[in-house]
Structure 1
Amino acid sequence: MKLTTRIAGTTALAFALVACGGEATDAPSADGGDMTAEVVDTLLPGEYEITSTVTALEVTEGSTAGTALKADDVRTSKVCVGEDGLLPPEAFGEENDNCTIDAGAYFRRGKVRQQLTCSRDGKTGQVNLQVDGEFTAEGLEGEVQTGTFFAGPGDYNMTRSMTGKRLGDCTAAEVEAEMEGTEIEG
């Protein structure tokens, strides 16, 4: 997957946080049970398994959506979060998307709000992603809203639910490989 990400200011890419104290929250765990987890300012470095499920897909122009995803499709990927708290962009975009993080991203006190603007190889136009989520020291949950504006048929609106959990450590080489092509604006 080819993704280029630009991160405004010193904010980190989605779900980036500083593992410093916080308050406890009652939140459902990924397996449906209740968990009390500490709200933190950043994700802990390491390998995360990110699972997204298409919960809604509506074609808005033409007869076929310009995506390979279908309703109820599940996508699971493993990504590395480095010491800087960056979550690689492939957690959000689809294959062949080239994305930038729009200004105004919010990463604080267990909440993330950010918008990405993407182009898709083979399509003229743009893909807009809105990420809304929450995170704790144990993982993350959220929703990704997608809306497309292609020059021709294939436009669609899609909603995906997203969960993530930390699996363990990543090596420095794995983090560097995951973040290759990511630009950070200071």
Structure 2
Amino acid sequence: MKLTDDHLQTFVEQGFVIVEDFYPEERRAQIAEGIRQTLPPWEVIADDPPARRLLTDDFPYADMLFNEFILDWDLIAFVQRVLDTEDIFFRYAHNWARYPDPGAEQPGLHIDNGNNSLLPPTSDRRYGQISTWYFPEAVDENQAPMQIVPKPYGQDLSKRVLLTVPAGTIMIFNTHLWHSATVFKGREGQRYSATRIYGRAD
């Protein structure tokens, strides 16, 4: 899907934008299957679950599909518009699988600063880091959906947006927005995500 002026305006106002059906169905299915090859579904590992009920696969990937996934030129062009520069660096990428953990404590709200940028938080979007979270499978309220607080509301969790989304949805956001995962309350299934982060190079 092409990212439009309307998407950019939403990003400017809210600090993030959510886009459904971001890739064609064939591409979405390919990404979903690729993640399942390295991060097994819950039914495969339920008898021996990972620590913190989380598995990750970080860049560089053994599967070239995900290395190529980083070079999404429509997405990069959108980041260039957000950051008001043509000089873009790729910062970091990972695939995650979260699994059932109904007894866990709620993760705290945070901003991403120390893990991918030396730049301090700023209200000037030109100096933010832009993170993109793609969900190849549907996420319901019991599958640890991300929560994010729109830019106008700072840390006011009562204004949060809960990312219960259909398969094939992407969320593009400034990493200086307050956000977190939520508890995986369900007792089966998993929540897959593929993340790519970009920043300005100049």
Is the shorter-chain TM-score for this pair beyond 0.5, marking a shared fold?
no
Compare the two structures and name the one with the higher helix fraction: 2
TM-score, normalisation: structure 1: 0.26
Scaled by the length of structure 2, the TM-score of the pair is 0.25
